[in-house]
Structure 1
Amino acid sequence: MTSIIKFRPLSGGMMPAQSALSPPHAYLLELDQFTFLCDCGWNAQFDMAFMHELKAVVHKFRPLSGGMMPAQSALSPPHAYLLELDQFTFLCDCGWNAQFDMAFMHELKAVVHKIDAVLLSYPDMSHLGGLPYAVSQLGLSCPIYATVPIYKMGQMFMYDLYQARFNMEDFQLFSLDEVDKTFEMITQLKYNQTVQLRGKGEGIAITPMPAGHMIGGSLWKIVKEGEEDIIYAVDFNHKKEQHLNGSEIEKIQRPSLLITDAFNASYKQVRRRDRDEKLMTSILQTLRNKGNVLVCVDTAGRVLELAHMIDHLWQIQDSGLIAYSLALLNNMSFNVIEFAKSQIEWMSDKLMRNFEGRRNNPFQFKHLKLCHSIAEVNKVPSPKVVLASMPDLECGFSRDLFLSWCGKPQNNIIITSRTGEGTLAHDLVANGTNRTINLEIKKRVKLSGAELEEHKRVEREKAAAVAKAKKQNNELLIDDESSDEEMDTGGPVKHDIIMKVDAAKENNQSTTFFKTVKAKHMMFPLTEEKVKWDDYGEIIRPEDWMDTVIDPDPIKNPATNGRTNSFEYEDTKDIVEIPTKCISSVQRVQLKAQIHFIDFEGRSDGESIVKVLQQVKPRRLILVRGREDQCLALANQCRQLWAKAQESSGQTQQKVNIYTPKNGETVDATTESYIYQVRLPESLVSRLSFSKGKDGLLAWVDGKISFNQEEIADVQSEDAEEVKKKPAIPTLVPLCEGDISGHPSVFVNELKLSDFKIVLTKSGISSEFAGGVLFCGNGNVALRRHDSGRVTIEGTVCDEYYRVRELLYDQYAIV
């Protein structure tokens, strides 16, 4: 086993050539999970820089997958990152790609023993696809944290993925039972529910916050002892959608460390209205030309936005779509929609208001038919629109329908998300239609002819072997049960008490001349099972009372594919009971169907990411999952904007560390802690004037630090052998009135003009935006917000001006 050794000088490292210093000795030596402090010296000047290093909170970040990629890369890597906070290690997401690349699993295997907790951001394969394999094969056994929708919808993702792969190949990476075992380890949380970690993670708190993108999507806020706050925010969407609210990342101010991705750094999205019109126009033209539309979607994430929008379009009488058919096809479609119906509180405010007011569930679809097999889709009248999984066209029903429909020019294939290089969907978007491609066709077929007979023969031999072994066990049981009734003419009499065994019989030696005769059953061999009982009576076996006709777990049963009424579909039989085999062949496929890419990923684009980062203003920033040119361009843009904002506000320019690690590269984002504890005497507290702020009460303090020796006491232990001294906590003593020189007023808050507009409306003052300026009332008062966050008010002196200014002051804590 390879040991991991790390060495870090806190003091006493290599000095410049001309240096004449004599630094003290202090070195950190890490051996696997154990850390030594080798010496702890101090110089004659008592330099505090070393002590700040010693007190620092250690942040280390290492991408296992999803690090910065080469400039020309077209990959879409999954998310998996190690975050070390002092001695506690988080695994932020555990995704897997469509090719099930084992290189990432080898990286994870080397560090799985040191992972203390797993944080999941979204329920799709890019964020939790590798979790069942890590638990079942790599031995991952730590707590896993996720929101309730990620728990439920994540199961649907993995069930559908397993069934799609099982239908085309001998899938051995994980089983449905292992998926269940993995999700049983998940601790389900609500938004803004804080969990205080115990044991090794004492002092660390984690909180999920809304991220948009998918139902239950989370930003993770990690706080160390109330000081260091780390934000893990990838794939967020700050915009509101039809079924989801936007992320709350804009509410976070000045985190110590922000981890986000640069996947969309150079990507510009079209307007939502233009995107929706493009989708509707493409669908309507295809249907009117008697063609079918295949929309490639995921299992239980972005499909909810599309399904809700398309079903709503079908309800519009003037749309002309009501005459055509609409279907949702995946192995778990029934369960996905049922779960969506029960999770309205996790969706947008608009859907919640409609549900509470009209009592109509937005996912009680009127036109969308739920299908679970190709046979059911074939029964849906054409022309039709089918939303089918998977989005990358590597497996699942979307691939099957593509092979059936791609040869007809009137059909339409709509791809809704960008996939990684090497997938069929990526090839279609990059190279288009009207060409011939070689495609590997994999499928599971029934055995027939000689193969079926051979399979039956093997099964009969196995059954015979099992029956023979069972018969032998029964005979042994008969011998044991009939031992009390044996007629042995020469053997000793058996008693209820324990007696010494005869030596001759123990050595299998007969003590009589005649052969021992066994007891015979009177009519025929009948084995009576012994009734087992305990203090409460006869022990009941649950399997003896189960109705074998009803499947106890319809979700996991591949025969019903997640349906509870499997008797309605006589054409779909249990594929496990029927002997099958997997075959593979390479075929030339003629592409004639229309190919369209319409972005329904639901992520913030590059321009929005820059604005969010400019508003959040993190002290340190780590960019992941982007090409090298994207990461470096975004980093440079952030540095320029932050420098400009500090210059315009008159602040001292502070350097912001921005890291762009590659896979396997460790980033040391260790921070120094300058927060100290002081005592506030009653004489000081009684003089303070508190103002209500966003997160508590604020007051300005004029005082000086002093140490009161009377408060430093020695505490003697019970055994009187060890004496411990309490740490000396300084006291903040108020200054005399004559020593207080006063201070300018400080306004504490990050106000948005859009929020202040709502305040004005509630107060009966009309307002409107024009060129980024908020004009109030009759236009006599104008409010501007600068890049530094300052808000200026201008206008003529009138009653309206003073009313607006008073409302504006109420939004701040003034100290």
Structure 2
Amino acid sequence: MTSIIKLHCLSGAGNETPPCYVLQVDEFKFLLDCGWDEKFDMDFMKELKRHINSVDAVLLSHSDPMHLGALPYAVGKLGLNCPIYATLPVYKMGQMFMYDLYQSHRNVSDFDLFTLDDVDLAFDRIVQLKYNQSVDMKGKGLGLRITPLPAGHSLGGTVWRITAPGEEDIVYAPDINHKKERHLNGCEIEKLMRPSLMLLGATNADYVQQRRRLRDEKLMTTILTTLRGGGCVLVCTDTAGRVLELAHMLDQLWRNKDSGLVAYSLLLLSNVSYNVVEFAKSQIEWMSDKLTRAFEGARSNPFALRHLHLCHSVAEVTRTPGPKLVLASFPDLEAGFARDLFLLWAPNPQNSIVLTARTSPGTLARDLIEKGGDRTLELTVRRRVRLEGAELEEFLQQQRAKINNTVKEETAGISSDSDSDGELEMWVVTGRHDIPVRHDVRHGGCFKTNKRHHAMYPFHEERTRADDYGELIKPEDYRLAEIVDAEGEIRDVPPVPPPKQEPDEEMTEIPSKCMVSVRSVQIRASIQHVELEGRADGESLLRLIAHSKPRALVALRAPPHAAAVLKKHCASENIEKVFFPSNGDTVDATTESHIYQVKLTDGLMRSLAWRSAGGAELAWLAARVVPRATQRENDATTEEAPSDVSMCLEAAESAGAAHAAAFVNTARLSELRAALARLGLGAEFSGGALECCNGSLAIRRLENGRVALEGVLSEEYYKVRELLYDQFAILPFLFLLVVYQIPLVQKECIRIFYMTVYIIHILNNGDIKISWWKRLTARCDKCSCYYRPLFE
């Protein structure tokens, strides 16, 4: 592989932080995923900001915040402006994830890192693809091709295959699952064979996973024991990813009358639960072959979940009587309805908390998995409470002041500019009416007035305060009874108009404030960890590496213990190049060990003398390799990542030994015969030579590939020679020596070598094709270093 390939690890290297990498292939840069952790680490955003303006395309692999959580912030706040590629389910379910994430934090805090508008703006940029649909890059990425392949971890989850022109594949597989599940097929491993470079998520390289049957039995035992004992079961899951597998499995169990679960309630709780189920119904073709055949045959949608009740608030769950099982987001227990229910149900020993994923270190769920329950935790509780008393009155006064200021701004600047006192004065007002006029016209006086005037045709529609039978309408009579806990949380209470409010002054939000407190929570409920995250375990990852046999491997999100296991396995498989980067590292995965990027300067391009041949422009290049000039002054104020290219080519001075003229092309004798016939000179083949002018001239091809013209000097001789020259591009320029200090892997040396670079490519059939800088290389005769000139 002669392409220059570098991987900048912004996050997700050496630990379990979210994946986010910049993959550079020559001059084109991919942003591989854009995840954000549960704590919204801003140090990671500073690193991303340095690279944001140089990114040419974004590839999203999964729909959860771990893989695209920072995308709205990158687009809305950092100004990411490039194509974003993802499958249709990642586009749909990713929106649901981000809506739920935003609303969950907004319910308990003044969350302002991004807005719903930022989410919509980010997802509007996504180019939706299907599996195995290849897309060719444009511009700097001309010749690059991307193809999404099934990953098996989540609905629409993707393994990206990046193909360079004339090169082999780069495979990006952060989270894969080769096993078939109830609603998903496994990863297609046969399509990942022999990649030149594999970027593999190796978090589970040393993880031993229980068999599926044992995990299902553990989950069923926990559910039946808890529900029959009068308790409730909280299953902490995500919004629109792995929850589909759980919802489909549990609904099948509830349908089985022998299970005895029909008497209990099965609930799905999230801010977007209705939309998630509806989207799942419309994406059956992305699911497993079993579900697809069932839908095509019986025309029954597997996600028409009859026993699953959709809830959008904790109050709806509380109103449901009896023992119940609730699927709630999020699995990390840092925010969302799962945390709210955990705070309510954890002190009750009859309840059970089921954790389905090993989330990032430092989260509440990870702490419970590692240390278990039956203890007291000091937890930070954030809640939004209703304003009351003096705070409510102050808030209402501020709202009235804003409305009054708005009215004043709309009517400001009204003045009379008429020349006569009796003339009607009119102007345009950006308010309710656009044809105002003075209601009283004063006659006489030297000064013009600046009073507020009524509209010419005023009209105001009064709001109905009574129904058709004359009874006064009281909104509070139509409100549903809501259960508000003792802490005064109001997120589930519908908006109530504040008292003494004008008809036109409608409140869009509930008057409330955010409060933060620390509470001691006694964990008496049963804590169970049932691994249902749908990722390949250590044994599967090692088999995948042995089966695919990549030439080079980069282990992503690999903790030290997992990296040690993977390193030992790769040594046994004879994989020479294995990289274990850390956050902030840059991995140079270029196959050729001595290959450098060189820029072509503008001065060099202006000095070239171009010649036309075969519809192409050719030139002889004489230059020297020098260090690049310092950055421009305005670059000092930007926060972009510094360029890795440190050399450039500049025009050499006219010195050195002259060389013979270079004839570029391969002339065919049959084409020369037709050209001679057009000039009126007959020609025939005889003894492997082309004879013309009654045998006085002969054109023959020599053993070294050159063409020789033999015959007597005559007027016809010069005509034939000129015709022969027209078949070639002649480059009569100087050939110079180039001196440069070349850094090697183990030592440094000064090499003198010939820089002979043709900006052409001769095909096998003799045609001429410009290859430009993508395949343009020159090689040092002394140390075998490759130099690739690139346009500035």
Q: Which band: TM-score by shorter chain?
A: 0.5 to 0.7
* Post-superposition CA distance 1:522-553 (Å, at most 9, x none): xx732569xxxxxxxxxxxxxx9xxxxxxxxx
Task: Name the residue aligned to 1:596.
Answer: 528
Q: How has the CA–CA distance of structure 1 residues 363 and 673 changed in structure 2, closer, same or farther, with 3 Å as cutoff? A: farther
Q: CA deviation at 1:707?
A: 7.9
Task: Name the residue aligned to 2:713.
Answer: none
> Percent identity over the alignment?
52
2:560 corresponds to which of 600, 624, 628: 628
Q: CA deviation at 1:726?
A: 5.3
* Post-superposition CA distance 1:542-574 (Å, at most 9, x none): xx9xxxxxxxxxxxxxxxxxxxxx998986414
Task: Name the residue aligned to 2:45.
Answer: 105
1:654-803 pair list within 5 angstroms: 656-672=576-592, 727-730=761-764
Task: Name the residue aligned to 1:218.
Answer: 158
Is it true that 1:461 corresponds to 2:381 in the alignment?
no
How far apart in 1 are the matches of 2:479 and 2:20? 42
Task: Name the residue aligned to 1:199.
Answer: 139
Task: Name the residue aligned to 2:94.
Answer: 154
How far apart in 2 are the matches of 1:253 and 1:266? 23
* C-alpha contact 2:171 2:198 (8 A) present in aligned 1: yes
* C-alpha contact 1:222 1:230 (8 A) present in aligned 2: yes
Is it true that 1:386 corresponds to 2:326 in the alignment?
yes
Letter in 2 for 1:364: A
Q: CA deviation at 1:262?
A: 1.2
* Post-superposition CA distance 1:574-632 (Å, at most 9, x none): 49521110001111111110000000000011111111111111111111101123113
How far apart in 2 are the matches of 1:292 and 1:336? 24
Task: Name the residue aligned to 2:446.
Answer: 515
Q: How has the CA–CA distance of structure 1 residues 62 and 516 changed in structure 2, closer, same or farther, with 3 Å as cutoff? A: closer
Task: Name the residue aligned to 2:227.
Answer: 287
Letter in 2 for 1:585: S
TM-score (norm 1): 0.65
Task: Name the residue aligned to 1:228.
Answer: 168
Task: Name the residue aligned to 2:218.
Answer: 278
Task: Name the residue aligned to 2:36.
Answer: 96
Is it true that 1:376 corresponds to 2:296 in the alignment?
no
Task: Name the residue aligned to 1:66.
Answer: 12
* Post-superposition CA distance 1:668-694 (Å, at most 9, x none): 1112499xxx99x9xxxxxxxxxxxxx
Letter in 2 for 1:525: H
SS in 2 for 1:323: coil
* Post-superposition CA distance 1:359-406 (Å, at most 9, x none): 111110110000000111112222000000010111111011111111
How far apart in 2 are the matches of 1:135 and 1:215? 24
SS in 2 for 1:296: strand
Q: How has the CA–CA distance of structure 1 residues 517 and 161 changed in structure 2, closer, same or farther, with 3 Å as cutoff? A: closer
Q: CA deviation at 1:58?
A: 0.3
Q: CA deviation at 1:285?
A: 0.5
Q: CA deviation at 1:519?
A: 12
Is it true that 1:525 corresponds to 2:454 in the alignment?
yes
Q: How has the CA–CA distance of structure 1 residues 272 and 712 changed in structure 2, closer, same or farther, with 3 Å as cutoff? A: farther
SS in 1 for 2:412: helix
How far apart in 2 are the matches of 1:569 and 1:160? 25
SS in 2 for 1:230: strand
Query: Which has the larger displacement, 219-228 or 299-308?
Result: 219-228
Query: Which has the larger displacement, 431-440 or 117-126?
Result: 431-440
In structure 1, stretches of 5+ residues that fail to align are: 1-54, 70-75, 490-512, 530-543, 545-565, 644-654, 682-705, 718-723, 733-815
SS in 2 for 1:381: coil
How far apart in 1 are the matches of 2:759 and 2:178? 51
Q: How has the CA–CA distance of structure 1 residues 446 and 707 changed in structure 2, closer, same or farther, with 3 Å as cutoff? A: farther
Q: Which has the larger radius of gyration?
A: 2
SS in 1 for 2:92: helix
How far apart in 2 are the matches of 1:462 and 1:98? 36
1:399 corresponds to which of 306, 320, 339: 339
Q: How has the CA–CA distance of structure 1 residues 519 and 321 changed in structure 2, closer, same or farther, with 3 Å as cutoff? A: closer
Q: CA deviation at 1:488?
A: 7.9
How far apart in 2 are the matches of 1:152 and 1:726? 47
* Post-superposition CA distance 1:424-456 (Å, at most 9, x none): 111111221221111111011110111001111
* C-alpha contact 2:558 2:580 (8 A) present in aligned 1: no
SS in 2 for 1:407: coil
2:541 corresponds to which of 586, 596, 609: 609
How far apart in 2 are the matches of 1:412 and 1:514? 86
* C-alpha contact 1:219 1:233 (8 A) present in aligned 2: yes
Task: Name the residue aligned to 1:340.
Answer: 280
How far apart in 2 are the matches of 1:670 and 1:712? 42
SS in 2 for 1:222: strand
1:562-573 pair list within 5 angstroms: 572-573=493-494
How far apart in 2 are the matches of 1:264 and 1:436? 30
2:195 corresponds to which of 255, 260, 280: 255
Q: CA deviation at 1:725?
A: 8.4
2:519 corresponds to which of 587, 602, 605: 587
Q: How has the CA–CA distance of structure 1 residues 471 and 317 changed in structure 2, closer, same or farther, with 3 Å as cutoff? A: same
* Post-superposition CA distance 1:77-97 (Å, at most 9, x none): 101011000000111000000
1:123-134 pair list within 5 angstroms: 123-134=63-74
Task: Name the residue aligned to 1:164.
Answer: 104
Q: How has the CA–CA distance of structure 1 residues 387 and 487 changed in structure 2, closer, same or farther, with 3 Å as cutoff? A: same
How far apart in 1 are the matches of 2:62 and 2:704? 51
SS in 2 for 1:466: helix
Is it true that 1:238 corresponds to 2:191 in the alignment?
no
Q: How has the CA–CA distance of structure 1 residues 567 and 256 changed in structure 2, closer, same or farther, with 3 Å as cutoff? A: farther
Is it true that 1:118 corresponds to 2:152 in the alignment?
no
SS in 2 for 1:418: coil
Is it true that 1:57 corresponds to 2:3 in the alignment?
yes
Task: Name the residue aligned to 1:6.
Answer: none
* Post-superposition CA distance 1:15-44 (Å, at most 9, x none): xxxxxxxxxxxxxxxxxxxxxxxxxxxxxx
Equivalent pairs counted in the alignment come to 561
Letter in 1 for 2:512: T
Letter in 1 for 2:494: K
SS in 2 for 1:587: strand
* C-alpha contact 1:268 1:605 (8 A) present in aligned 2: yes
1:266 corresponds to which of 176, 183, 206: 206
Task: Name the residue aligned to 1:137.
Answer: 77
1:305-384 pair list within 5 angstroms: 305-384=245-324
Query: Which has the larger displacement, 92-101 or 430-439?
Result: 430-439
SS in 2 for 1:140: coil
Q: CA RMSD in A?
A: 3.0
How far apart in 2 are the matches of 1:121 and 1:577? 36
How far apart in 2 are the matches of 1:712 and 1:356? 69
Q: How has the CA–CA distance of structure 1 residues 514 and 411 changed in structure 2, closer, same or farther, with 3 Å as cutoff? A: closer
SS in 2 for 1:244: coil
* C-alpha contact 2:171 2:197 (8 A) present in aligned 1: yes
* C-alpha contact 1:713 1:726 (8 A) present in aligned 2: no
Q: CA deviation at 1:638?
A: 2.2
Letter in 2 for 1:587: R
* C-alpha contact 2:109 2:514 (8 A) present in aligned 1: yes
